[in-house]
Amino acid sequence: MAEFIKIYPENPNPKEIDRVVKVLRNGGLIIYPTDTVYGLGCDITNTKALEKIARIKGVKLEKANFSFVCSDLSNLSDYVKQIDSPTFKILKRALPGPYTFILPGSNSLPKSFKKRKTVGIRIPDNNIARSIVKALGNPIVSTSIRDDDDILEYTTDPELIFEKWKNFVDIVIDGGFGDNYASTIIDLTDDEPQVIREGKGSLEIL
């Protein structure tokens, strides 16, 4: 059964962050807070963990639309092809924030994503998520956790999330109530930005 760990977003406890990182490095799955809805994540370099998440979501790994959650823009070039100045300006304006940007994937993607032409990049405005990625030293692959409830698309209460997911993951982080709106998804692979899904992030950044 999963561990249920309380971490405060204002000042994430380094000891607790290290506990989470250890689990990720060992191929574990975590549920963690972002600046939008709670996410299900694993270490980007761990194929077994990636396959587990794909199974949970009922998709084939090579076809899965998972986001890469980064701590900042500094190691973007590891996963994304050279981007032009207007694209970079949009990223600088919007991030960290509630956006997922679809960008052209580079040739040095981890082997599970080698065939991908594009990748979704997230830098959440949430200290817990960014501290985990920073301590891990590489992105986590993430997908939002949806609810089966017709009225509520996303569960916002960490205790309810724990009840539902405790047998599927290794850690559920209680970082306070989540949001009920997913990120805004913007495709930046063409000349003009394309809004794929309007979510929490404002479109004024474009």
Structure confidence at residue 149 as a pLDDT band (50, 70, 90)? low
What single-letter amino acid sits at 10?
E
Distance of alpha carbon 20 from alpha carbon 29, whole angstroms: 9
Average pLDDT, the chain: 93
Q: How is residue 87 annotated by DSSP? A: H
Average pLDDT over residues 182-188: 96
**Ramachandran category for residue 58: left, alpha or beta (phi over 0 → left; psi -120 to 50 → alpha):** left
Structure confidence at residue 153 as a pLDDT band (50, 70, 90)? low
Find out whether 77 and 106 touch, Cβ atoms under 8 Å.
yes
Residue 134, both tokens: 């920073």
Higher pLDDT, 115 or 101: 101
Residue 202, both tokens: 């404002």
Measure CA 150 to chain center: 24
Instruction: Choose the CATH number for 3-205 among 3.90.870.10, 3.40.50.10210, 3.40.50.300, 3.40.50.2000.
Output: 3.90.870.10
Structure confidence at residue 108 as a pLDDT band (50, 70, 90)? confident
For the chain, what are the domain ranges? Answer: 3-205
Bridge partner residues of 119 (DSSP): 103
Distance of alpha carbon 175 from alpha carbon 83, whole angstroms: 34
